[in-house]
Amino acid sequence: MSKRTLIKSYTRRDVLKAGAASAIAVNFLPSRVFGANERLTMAGIGVGGKGASDINGAGTVGEVVALCDCDFKRGAGAAKKWPKAKQFTDFREMLDKMGKEIDACTVSTPDHTHAPAAIRAMSQGIHVYVQKPLTHTVWEARQMRLEAVKNKVCTQMGNQGTASTGMREGVEALQAGAIGEIKECHVWTNRPVWPQAPGVTKSLPEQAKPEHLDWDSFIGPAKMRPYNSGYHPFKWRGWWDYGTGALGDMACHTANLAYMGCELTQPTWVEPITVGPINPETYPAWAVIKMKFPAIKGRSEVTFNWYEGKQDGKKKLPPAELFHGNKPTNSGSLIVGTKGIMYSPNDYGSSWQLLPPSGGEKAPEYVKVSPALPRNNRGDVGMKEEWAKAIKANKPEIALSNFDHAANFTEAILLGNIAMKVGEGFDWNADKLRSSNKKATRLATKKYRKGWEV
C-alpha cells in the first residue's frame, strides 16, 4: 500500500473534490445501492448522553430498528422514542442477530469501545457514524480507515463543528494563503472538567452494581475491574483504560480547523513540553505537547502545540503576544503565518478573525474566495444528513469528516497522549506505526480482553 494511501491530508484539491462530490466516488462500489427516497435502517450503539443526540439525528434520516446501551436507565429516552426498536446491552449480540437488517449505525460509547464496535459493524457492510475521538489508540485509528475502504462503507466522525460555514470558510481562507506561509498552530482547551489527577490517582473501591447496568459490556476490551460510580457515567474520560483525556476529548473539535486547513498529515516528532505527574490510572492534571508535521508540496514544516489543564491554578495557554491584546477564551486556536494569525475563539473553529503577524501591527487583508466546500451549517443534524447523503449517493467524500480525514486526524492527536506517558520526545514513522523509542511504539496499541478484540 502506498504512502499516499496510508497518510493523507486534506489538500485544496481534496477540498474541491468534496465540494464537487465526484472524483473519489468513481471506484466506490457499495454492497447495496439505495434509492434516493429510500429510508435507511439505523441502529445506535450507546444511546444515552451524547449518544441520545446522535441516534436522534440518525432517526431524522432513517428508521431506527435497534438500540444498544450497557445502561438503559441513561438510554431510556431513546427506548421510549423508538419502542419498536429491539434493545440490546451488548453490541456484539446486536450485530450478530440484526446485522443483515441494519444499513447504518451510530457509535457513541466510551472511547475504548469505539473501534471494537465500529470495525465489527463495518466488517458486515454497515455504514458507521462514530463519535470523536474516533478511537482509543493510534493503531485502532489506522484500522478504522483501512476497514472503511476494505468494506466500501460511508463514514463520519462526530465532530459537529465540521458542518459550520465558519469553519469551512476558515479552511478555504488558510488554503488560499490568507495568513501567508503557515508556520505553527496553537490549540488550547478548558478540559479536563471531570475527576482525574491530582484528585484521582488510583483505582476505586468496589461498589454494589446497579441492576440496570451491564458492567461487562461497559468494560468491553479493557481489563475487568469492580464497578464504581467513579467510572460510569461520563467520569470514564479521565481514566487511561476508557477515555483519551482532555486531548482526545477536545482536540478533534478544537484542532479541526488547523488540521484540515493546514493540510496536516502525521507528525514526525512528538514531544511533551510539560506534563503533570503521571500515574497508572488517570490522565495528568496538565500538559503541553509539541508535534512537528513534515513539509508537503505547497507548504513547509508546521509545528503544532497543544495546551490542557492547569498547573498551580494557572491555565496552560499559548504565548500571550500571539493574541495581540485579545483575552484568551476558554478554548480556541491560533494559526500563525508569515502574513498574519488566524484566531478562532471557540471549540469548533466556527468563528475566526485575522490578527497581525507576530511582532506586527496590521492584520492581513483578505477577500473571501469562491466557496470550495459545500455549505451545511446545521451542526450535529447536518453531519448526519451529509452522512446519509453520502450513503445514498455512494460518495463517501460528501461526509466531510469521513475516516479518510478523521482517522488520520485521530492518529495524530492520540500521539500526544503517548508522549505524556513516554515522558520525552520521540520520532514517529507513520507508515510503519513505529518509533525508535520502543515504549512509544508499544503504546500505539493495547491488549484486548478476550472476546472483545479488534
Largest Cα separation within the chain, whole Å, is: 64
* β 314-315/302-311 pair status: antiparallel
Q: What is the pLDDT of residue 329?
A: 97
Per the confidence metrics, is the pTM higher than 0.85?
A: yes
pLDDT attached to residue 28: 56
Instruction: Determine contact, residues 213/71, Cβ cutoff 8 Å.
Output: yes
- Which CATH fold would you assign to the domain 3-163+378-402? Rossmann fold (3.40.50)
Q: What is the pLDDT of residue 2?
A: 34
3 state SS for the chain: CCHHHHCCCCCHHHHHHHHHCCHHHHHCCCCCCCCCCCCEEEEEECCCCHHHHHHHHHHCCEEEEEEECCECCCCHHHHHHCCCCEEECCHHHHHHHHHHHCCEEEECCCHHHHHHHHHHHHCCCCEEEEECCCCCCHHHHHHHHHHHHHCCCCEEEECHHHHCHHHHHHHHHHHCCCCCCEEEEEEECCCCCCCCCCCCCCCCCCCCCCCCECHHHHHCCCCCCCCCCCCCCCHHHHECCCCCHHHHHHHHHHCHHHHHHCCCCCCCEEEEEEECCCCCCECCCEEEEEEEECCECCECCEEEEEEEEEECCEECCCCHHHHCCCCCCCCEEEEEECCCEEEECCCCCCCCEEECCCCCCCCCCCCCCCCCCCCCCCHHHHHHHHHHHHHHHCCHHHCCCCHHHHHHHHHHHHHHHHHHHHCCCEECECCCCECCCHHHHHCCCCCCCCCCCC
Q: Which residue has the cell 462514530?
A: 130
**Residue bearing cell 477540498:** 15
CA dist 118 and 129 (Å) reads: 8
Q: Which is nearest to 107 in space by CA: 170, 24, 51?
A: 51
Cell 477577500 appears where? Answer: 367
- Say whether the peptide bond before residue 110 is cis (omega within 30 degrees of 0): no
Domain range summary for the chain, segments of one domain joined by +? 3-163+378-402, 165-197+241-373+414-418
Q: 165-197+241-373+414-418 in CATH: which number?
A: 3.30.360
Per-residue pLDDT of the chain (454 residues; tens, 9 = 90+): 333 335 556 565 555 455 444 333 334 556 677 876 789 999 999 999 999 999 999 999 999 999 999 999 999 999 999 999 999 999 999 999 999 999 999 999 999 999 999 999 999 999 999 999 999 999 999 999 999 999 999 999 999 999 999 999 999 999 999 999 999 999 999 999 999 999 999 999 999 999 999 999 999 999 999 999 999 999 999 999 999 999 999 999 999 999 999 999 999 999 999 999 999 999 999 999 999 999 999 899 999 999 999 999 999 999 999 999 999 999 999 999 999 999 999 999 999 999 999 999 999 999 999 999 999 999 999 999 999 999 999 999 999 999 999 999 999 999 999 999 999 999 999 999 999 999 999 999 999 999 999 9
Distance CA 261, CA 283 (A): 29
Residue 226 phi/psi, 5-degree rounding, is: -65, 150
State the Cα–Cα distance between residues 302 and 319, nearest whole angstrom: 17
Angle between helical axes of 379-393 and 50-59 (0-180°, round to 10): 50
| Rounded distance between C-alpha atoms, residue 108 and residue 48, angstroms | 8
CA distance 403 to 129: 10
Strand pairing category for 269-275 and 182-188: unpaired
With beta carbons less than 8 A apart as the criterion, state whether 274 and 311 touch. Answer: yes
Judge contact between 239 and 98, C-beta under 8 A. Answer: no
- 66 near 47, Cβ under 8 Å? no
Residue pair 38/392 in contact by the 8 Å Cβ criterion: yes
